[in-house]
Chains A and B, each alone.
Chain A
Amino acid sequence: MSLATTQSTAETRARNKELIEEVLKVYPEKTAKRRAKHLNVHQAGKSDCGVKSNIKSIPGVMTIRGCAYAGSKGVVWGPIKDMVHISHGPVGCGQYSWGSRRNYYVGTTGIDSFVTLQFTSDFQEKDIVFGGDKKLDKVLDEIQELFPLNNGITIQSECPIGLIGDDIEAVSRAKSKEYGGKTIVPVRCEGFRGVSQSLGHHIANDAVRDWIFGHLEGDGKPKFDPTPYDVAIIGDYNIGGDAWSSRILLEEMGLRVIAQWSGDGSLAELEATPKAKLNILHCYRSMNYISRHMEEKFGIPWCEYNFFGPSKIAESLRRIAGYFDDKIKEGAERVIEKYEPLVNAVIAKYRPRLEGKTVMLYVGGLRPRHVIGAYEDLGMEVIGTGYEFGHNDDYQRTAQHYVKDSTLIYDDVNGYEFERFVEKLQPDLVGSGIKEKYVFQKMGVPFRQMHSWDYSGPYHGYDGFAIFARDMDMAVNSPVWKKTTAPWKEASSVKLQAAE
């Protein structure tokens, strides 16, 4: 049992407050003042977590955040499989994000699907000096010639594009016309825009609105016959197959999924989405914008859901079914019942091994709150959480529906703060990203990557929950964590060995 669970809520609150004060001491005065607003101890009953968010990161602190390009190319657009996404600018951005997010898809890569290819205009000095529009023009021609089965092209701007005054919109329009109305989408997701990945999501959403929805031709009739049960999955990037293990549940309850945004998605699915009866939204942070737009423009309602862990899955299936008739409501119950034996078996196997274990999270998107229920289904307790690029509406949802009283909250945490927090709170598990993984493992703390599922997954849906439970167990209970101290050394000299 870790320290955290042996204390009363009041004690925990006092200790966490003290911890925040202690951490802030390292900073120059100005920085301490700014960081203080991002750290808090959650108070039950409050409407949000009491932290400022979506504010510029402070220079030099080792923020874990990325950039707008990462939010657009890396998250929203990159997974659309039948379009070619050009990393427009120097080679690095596309290189570092090449294939690293595991947005699964089915297709013939390089022929009709392109997710795991790295297309770049590979800017050289002359392109910076003379502008890159001519090069872009040629890049588009070369893509058309060598990848003739692409269904569209997006231009993902890297930092220099916006700084040197290139007119990628004009190039896109001209080339689209030249290719008979081909979908070519310029995206202004230069990395210096905004404060994190978040603005990149928004810009990418707006590009769908303006360059996909804004160019729908004719009466917009889909190429399939509509049904009253058509829904679109919004904000699932199919990491390790998450969208698939979600889709199967929706279809089993009688709904028909006509589009996936954007994991394993296609241009045709984006275009057909305005015909959905309901948009169901998993990652609120990255795709609420387009959901709101479709509500306003096409009158499509949207509802948030959470497919992590059986409690939230059942709650979500019922909520989604609430938008439909009895047939679907019965379908939801049938699905919940069908998977009950699996859920019971998973919990029976893993809960005894994980009961009472504490977790600290620091992730992006929806996960700092969405996975809490799944941990609780396994008897684990989340004692600290924070968002890499959340906004206040994320912290509201977190406060109102997810975190317990006195949970430590850290927005845009940096390396120093996170290490100190973990060192003091000694959780049994940390869930964060690749940059954090090895830091905490060196400290002897079990860790799972909660962006990439540590190359496992899916974690969504009932099938995913079994994998989630297995993975958390293998992290927390790996025999290696008992071996971090050499037998001839005093155990007391070890910092941060996960307490038993």
Chain B
Amino acid sequence: MAQSAERVLDHVELFRGPEYQQMLAKKKIFENPRDPAEVERIKEWTKTAEYREKNFAREALAVNPAKACQPLGAVFASVGFERTLPFVHGSQGCVAYYRSHLSRHFKEPSSCVSSSMTEDAAVFGGLNNMIDGLANSYNMYKPKMIAVSTTCMAEVIGDDLNAFIKTSKEKGSVPAEFDVPFAHTPAFVGSHVTGYDNALKGILEHFWDGKSGTAPKLERKPNGAINIIGGFDGYTVGNLREIKRILELMDIDHTVLADNSEVFDTPTDGEFRMYDGGTTLEDAANAIHAKATISMQQWCTEKTLTFVAEHGQDVVSFNYPVGLSATDDFIVALSRISSKEIPEQLARERGRLVDAIADSSAHVHGKKFAIYGDPDVCYGLAAFLLELGAEPTHVLSTNGNKAWQEKMQALLASSPFGQGCQAYPGRDLWHMRSLLFTEPVDFLIGNTYGKYLERDTGTPLIRIGFPIFDRHHHHRSPVWGYQGGLNVLVKILDKIFDEIDKKTNVLGKTDYSFDIIR
């Protein structure tokens, strides 16, 4: 028996001993297992160009896609407003999934309710669920706003949120003047980034355009402020705080819309804060008067920015600006729009990032990378790699579209390091597996699920993306701003150095290169 009270072995070690190994070997005969030689043959076949061709010919099946569904993004955006409870109309299991998913990434509570529709609602519609649900949520959780979105069930049966909310208010579920913005977020259209866009647009539309006909539309009285939209972002906590710091340094009057940087990073001090921070409802309404709105992620805010532009504001969008040039562009845009000087401190921060790149670029230069993730994240990371002299050989975005591909390809074409690099829209991680086998790279950048690719192909994984379930707390540090660029550079360098050490640590064989100084 391997187990003992002195040294308790859990699953990592317990099953490695002979007792369990023999037990598992004996279990095989009941499994009717495949011939090991055949398993080996197929395993090798999946690494070939022939398999890649068949794999890329897939038209219907998705295997390990790197995207989630719309309501996740809607929930993510909604909790970024002051005391706002996301309410997802449809089946209840979906909400259990969103909450779990966000909690596993942020290691934080994630509050959200469902209207718990079942078979009868599928037949008769979910109006009663909405009426009861809003009343219960309002009484129990004392929100200042309830932001409604939908699961695919409610979308398939065609529930009309606008009418349902109106009826619920008439029935007294919530006071008539209580804010209940809404967005239809069908899971069979787009992805979580689309849901973010729809929910945010729904909220702005609610405040700016007369609260579904219950209030006068706001009249824009332009001021000098700038609105910032972060987009769906696993690093929202660190990133939005960094952006706010930069805006304050530049003395720019600003509103961060959907600011969930507090609610996903509350202290452990004896109190559970179901709501914390967030864009105030007043600020959300007054955001109409801003001079301009800047989106940090174009593909998360296509509809929202169009809506904002229609209200007369300048709109500017970035693609997850990471690194030197992208941050430069962002800072310069801030200065241009606000007519504020760029303070010396930012120049110094910039200089430090340049310094770090100069110190270390020899280790990154010429390395080949595969990247996957949300469309903007891919773009931002690829752009940073190019300026480090690295080659983003494969850039894959399951929720990227043709327009993304064109923009991505144009970026790659613009750099000598992007030649021969390829963007893959609509593809999944099983496609990526074929790419890594047939056109190997040095490193892979992606979310936690990339560890399966690392295991199968031996390509070391640098964890940047969403979700990150198996590493803790990285979301608390920014990847935007010059400081964020430095953080990303360090993540990449740490992996590169770890790999060199791993390759050179065999005693008496390879350890002549096991250097103390690198």
| Contact between chains at A342 and B67 (CB < 8 Å) | no
Q: A244-B24, A444-B268 are in contact. Are A27 and B61 (CB under 8 A)?
A: no
| Contact between chains at B96 and A194 (CB < 8 Å) | no
Among residues 324 to 351 in chain A, which have CB atoms less than 8 Å away from a CB atom of chain B? 338-339, 342, 345-346, 348-350
Q: A62-B111, A92-B71, A146-B58 are in contact. Are A122 and B92 (CB under 8 A)?
A: no
The number of chain A residues with a CB under 8 A from chain B is 134
Cα distance A244–B72 when bound, in Å? 36
Q: Is A93 an interface residue (CB 8 A)?
A: yes
Q: A60-B137, A97-B97 are in contact. Are A496 and B270 (CB under 8 A)?
A: yes
Among residues 433 to 463 in chain A, which have CB atoms less than 8 Å away from a CB atom of chain B? 433-435, 437-444, 456-458, 462-463
Q: Which residues of A contact B97 (CB under 8 A)?
A: 66, 70, 92-93, 96-97
The number of chain B residues with a CB under 8 A from chain A is 109
Q: Is B504 an interface residue (CB 8 A)?
A: no
| Contact between chains at A342 and B269 (CB < 8 Å) | no
User: Shortest beta-carbon distance, B457 to chain A, in Å?
Assistant: 11
Q: Count A-B pairs with CB separation below 8 Å.
A: 359
Which of B148-156, B209-217, B488-496 is found at the contact surface with chain A? B148-156
Q: A65-B93, A494-B270 are in contact. Are A160 and B152 (CB under 8 A)?
A: yes
User: Shortest beta-carbon distance, A115 to chain B, in Å?
Assistant: 11
| Contact between chains at B11 and A458 (CB < 8 Å) | yes
Q: Is A485 an interface residue (CB 8 A)?
A: yes
Q: Is B341 an interface residue (CB 8 A)?
A: no
Q: Is A500 an interface residue (CB 8 A)?
A: no
Residue of A nearest to B172 (CB): A28
Q: Is A486 an interface residue (CB 8 A)?
A: yes
Q: Is B363 an interface residue (CB 8 A)?
A: no
Encode B130-153 as 1/0 by CB contact (under 8 A) with A: 101111110111000000000111
| Contact between chains at A60 and B136 (CB < 8 Å) | yes
Q: A163-B157, A192-B122 are in contact. Are A66 and B452 (CB under 8 A)?
A: no
| Contact between chains at B30 and A224 (CB < 8 Å) | yes
Among residues 54 to 91 in chain A, which have CB atoms less than 8 Å away from a CB atom of chain B? 56-70, 82, 89-91
Q: Is A111 an interface residue (CB 8 A)?
A: yes
Residue of A nearest to B14 (CB): A463
Q: Which residues of B contact A485 (CB under 8 A)?
A: 269-270
Cα distance A251–B279 when bound, in Å? 60
- Partner of B24 from the list A106, A116, A223, A438 (CB cut-off 8 Å) is A106
- Partner of B188 from the list A28, A128, A437, A463 (CB cut-off 8 Å) is A128
Cα distance A415–B92 when bound, in Å? 14
Most buried by A among B58, B60, B110: B60
| Contact between chains at A342 and B1 (CB < 8 Å) | yes
Cα distance A490–B188 when bound, in Å? 52
| Contact between chains at B64 and A142 (CB < 8 Å) | no
- Partner of B58 from the list A82, A96, A142, A415 (CB cut-off 8 Å) is A142
| Contact between chains at B98 and A95 (CB < 8 Å) | no
- Partner of A112 from the list B33, B64, B122 (CB cut-off 8 Å) is B33
| Contact between chains at B24 and A91 (CB < 8 Å) | no
Which of A37-45, A266-274, A396-404 is found at the contact surface with chain B? A266-274
| Contact between chains at A438 and B108 (CB < 8 Å) | yes
- Partner of A191 from the list B10, B55, B94, B108 (CB cut-off 8 Å) is B94
Cα distance A414–B58 when bound, in Å? 43
Encode B93-137 as 1/0 by CB contact (under 8 A) with A: 110111111011001111111111111011000000110111111
Q: Which residues of B contact A64 (CB under 8 A)?
A: 96
User: Shortest beta-carbon distance, B43 to chain A, in Å?
Assistant: 5
Q: Is B282 an interface residue (CB 8 A)?
A: no
| Contact between chains at A244 and B15 (CB < 8 Å) | yes
User: Shortest beta-carbon distance, A252 to chain B, in Å?
Assistant: 9
| Contact between chains at A268 and B136 (CB < 8 Å) | no
Among residues 453 to 490 in chain A, which have CB atoms less than 8 Å away from a CB atom of chain B? 456-458, 462-463, 466-467, 469-470, 480, 484-486
| Contact between chains at A96 and B98 (CB < 8 Å) | yes
| Contact between chains at B3 and A462 (CB < 8 Å) | yes
| Contact between chains at A60 and B132 (CB < 8 Å) | yes
Cα distance A197–B92 when bound, in Å? 10
| Contact between chains at B91 and A191 (CB < 8 Å) | yes
Q: A66-B92, A95-B65 are in contact. Are A349 and B132 (CB under 8 A)?
A: no
Residue of B nearest to A67 (CB): B93
Q: Which residues of A contact B113 (CB under 8 A)?
A: 59-62
User: Shortest beta-carbon distance, A272 to chain B, in Å?
Assistant: 6
Cα distance A201–B99 when bound, in Å? 22
| Contact between chains at B38 and A149 (CB < 8 Å) | yes
User: Shortest beta-carbon distance, B426 to chain A, in Å?
Assistant: 10
Cα distance A456–B139 when bound, in Å? 38
Some 19 contacts from A to B, beta carbons below 8 A apart, are A58-B132, A59-B114, A60-B136, A90-B188, A91-B67, A93-B97, A95-B65, A96-B72, A110-B456, A111-B46, A118-B64, A269-B31, A272-B30, A338-B1, A345-B6, A349-B5, A419-B272, A470-B8, A495-B271
- Taking A108-B43, A118-B62, A462-B3 as known contacts, 20 extra A-B pairs with beta carbons closer than 8 A to each other, sorted by chain A number, are A59-B115, A66-B96, A66-B97, A67-B93, A92-B72, A100-B469, A121-B61, A124-B189, A125-B186, A142-B58, A146-B430, A159-B153, A193-B119, A244-B24, A260-B27, A345-B4, A415-B111, A416-B140, A466-B3, A486-B269
Q: B interface vs A, CB < 8 Å? A: 1-6, 8-11, 14-15, 19-20, 23-24, 26-27, 29-34, 38-39, 42-43, 46, 51, 54-55, 58-65, 67-69, 71-72, 87, 90-94, 96-101, 103-104, 107-119, 121-122, 129-130, 132-137, 139-141, 151-153, 156-157, 186-189, 191, 266-273, 430, 433, 449, 452, 456, 469
Per CB-CB distance, the 10 closest pairs between chain A and chain B, nearest first, are A67-B93, A92-B69, A59-B133, A60-B133, A268-B32, A96-B97, A494-B270, A345-B5, A60-B136, A90-B187
